[in-house]
Amino acid sequence: MKAAGTLRVENLTVCHERRPAVHHVSGQFAPGSLTAIVGPNGAGKTTLLRALAGLHKPQEGRIRATDRIALLPQASALDRGFPIGCLDAVMLGLWRETGAFRGVTLAGRAQAEAALEAVGLKGFQRRPVGSLSAGQFQRVLFARLLVQDAPVILLDEPFNALDSRTAGEMLALVKTWHGEGRTVVAVLHDLELVQRDFPETLLLARDPIAWGPTAEVLTAANRLRARQMAEGWAEAAADCDQDVPEQGRAA
Amino acid sequence: MRRALVGCLAVSVSAPPLGLFLMLRRMSLTADVLGHGILPGVAAAFLLAGLSVPAMAAGGLLAGLAVALGAGALSRATGGREDAALAALYLVALALGVAMVAAGGGTMELTQLLFGSALGVDDAALLLMAGTATLSLGVLAFAWRPLVLECFDPSFAQAVGARGGLWHMAFLALVVLNLMAAFQALGTLMGVGLMMLPAVAARHWSREVGGMAYAAVALAVLASFGGLLLSFHADVPSGPAVVLAAGAGWVVSVLVGPVDGVAARLRRRHLAG
String of b and e for A46-80 (b: at least 16 CB within 10 Å)? bbbbbbbbebbebbebebebebebbbbbbbeebbe
From A69, A71, A88, residue closest to B155, measured CB to CB: A71
Determine, for residues A77 and B146 on separate chains, whether the beta-carbon distance falls below 8 Å: no
Q: For residue A181, is pLDDT > 70?
A: yes
Could you give the C-alpha distances from B210 to A46, A124, B10, B135, B203, in angstroms and in order?
34, 18, 19, 19, 11
CB-based contact, B214 to chain A, within 8 Å = no
Three-class SS of residue B138? helix
* Chain B residues touching A55 at Cβ < 8 A: 155, 158-159
pLDDT tens-place string over residues A62-93: 898 888 899 999 888 888 888 899 999 999 98
Residues with Cβ < 8 Å from B9, sequence gap 6 or more?
A: B221, B224, B225
CB-based contact, A73 to chain B, within 8 Å = yes
The structural domain count of chain A equals 1
User: What pLDDT is attached to residue B261?
Assistant: 86
Indicate whether A96 belongs to any domain: no
User: What pLDDT is attached to residue A247?
Assistant: 39
Q: If we measure between CA atoms, which residue out of A154, A202, A205, A200 comes closest to residue A22?
A: A205
The sheet with strand A34-38 has its strands ordered as A69-72, A152-156, A183-187, A34-38, A200-205, A207-213
* Chain A residues touching B148 at Cβ < 8 A: 84, 88, 92
* Domain membership of residue A221 as a residue range: 1-68+152-160+182-251
* C-alpha span between A46 and A50 (Å, rounded): 6
Asked if A206 and A23 touch (Cβ cutoff 8 Å), the reply is: yes
Q: Name the closest residue on chain B to residue A97, using Cα atoms.
A: B160
Q: Could you tell me which residue, A221 or A102, shows the higher pLDDT?
A: A221
* C-alpha span between B38 and B176 (Å, rounded): 8
The average pLDDT across A154-159 equals 93
Residue B20 bridge partners (DSSP)? none
User: What pLDDT is attached to residue A248?
Assistant: 39
Indicate whether A131 belongs to any domain: no
User: What pLDDT is attached to residue B273?
Assistant: 57
String of b and e for A215-244 (b: at least 16 CB within 10 Å)? eebbeeebbebbeebbeebeeeeeeeeebe
- Chain B contacts in chain A segment 137-176 (CB below 8 A): 144
Determine, for residues B152 and A95 on separate chains, whether the beta-carbon distance falls below 8 Å: no
Q: Residues A168, A171, A177, A182: what is their CA dihedral angle, to the nearest 10 degrees?
A: -170
Distance from CA of A216 to the nearest CA of B (A): 33
Q: For residue A38, is pLDDT > 60?
A: yes
How many Cβ atoms from other residues are within 10 Å of residue B168's Cβ? 20
pLDDT confidence band for A188 (50 / 70 / 90): very high
Indicate whether A247 belongs to any domain: yes
The average pLDDT across A114-134 equals 91
* C-alpha span between B219 and B74 (Å, rounded): 34
The average pLDDT across A117-130 equals 91
User: What pLDDT is attached to residue B107?
Assistant: 79
User: What pLDDT is attached to residue B155?
Assistant: 84
Tell me whether 0.95 is exceeded by the ipTM. no
Centroid of chain to Cα B146: 21
CA distance from start to end of chain B: 52
CB-based contact, B153 to chain A, within 8 Å = yes
Kindly write down the DSSP assignment for every residue of B84-134, as one continuous string: HHHHHHHHHHHHHHHHHHHHHS-HHHHHHHHH--GGG--HHHHHHHHHHHH
CB-based contact, B17 to chain A, within 8 Å = no
User: What pLDDT is attached to residue A241?
Assistant: 41
String of b and e for B61-88 (b: at least 16 CB within 10 Å)? bbbbbebbeebbebbeeeeeebeebbee
pLDDT confidence band for A99 (50 / 70 / 90): confident
User: What pLDDT is attached to residue A169?
Assistant: 94
Residue B135 burial class via C-beta count within 10 angstroms: exposed 0-12, middle 13-18, buried 19 and up: middle
Determine, for residues A92 and B158 on separate chains, whether the beta-carbon distance falls below 8 Å: no
* C-alpha span between B205 and B203 (Å, rounded): 6
User: What pLDDT is attached to residue A67?
Assistant: 85
Distance from CA of A34 to the nearest CA of B (A): 21
Q: If we measure between CA atoms, which residue out of B219, B253, B235, B187 comes closest to residue B16?
A: B219
In this prediction, what percent of chain A has a pLDDT beyond 70? Answer: 90
Domain ranges of chain B: 2-272
CATH number of the domain to which A226 belongs: 3.40.50.300
User: What pLDDT is attached to residue A110?
Assistant: 93
User: What pLDDT is attached to residue B228?
Assistant: 92
User: What pLDDT is attached to residue B153?
Assistant: 86
Looking at domain B2-272, its CATH architecture is Orthogonal Bundle (1.10)
The average pLDDT across A150-162 equals 92
Indicate whether A53 belongs to any domain: yes
* C-alpha span between B100 and A28 (Å, rounded): 63
Q: Which residues of chain B have pLDDT under 70?
A: 75-82, 272-273
User: What pLDDT is attached to residue B264?
Assistant: 85
String of b and e for A143-163 (b: at least 16 CB within 10 Å)? bbbbbbbbbbbbbbbbbbebe
User: Quick one: DSSP state of residue A76?
Assistant: G
Indicate whether A237 belongs to any domain: yes
Distance from CA of B139 to the nearest CA of A (A): 11
Determine, for residues B208 and A83 on separate chains, whether the beta-carbon distance falls below 8 Å: yes
CB-based contact, B146 to chain A, within 8 Å = yes
* Chain B residues touching A152 at Cβ < 8 A: none
pLDDT tens-place string over residues A200-251: 999 999 899 999 999 999 999 999 999 988 888 776 655 444 443 443 344 3
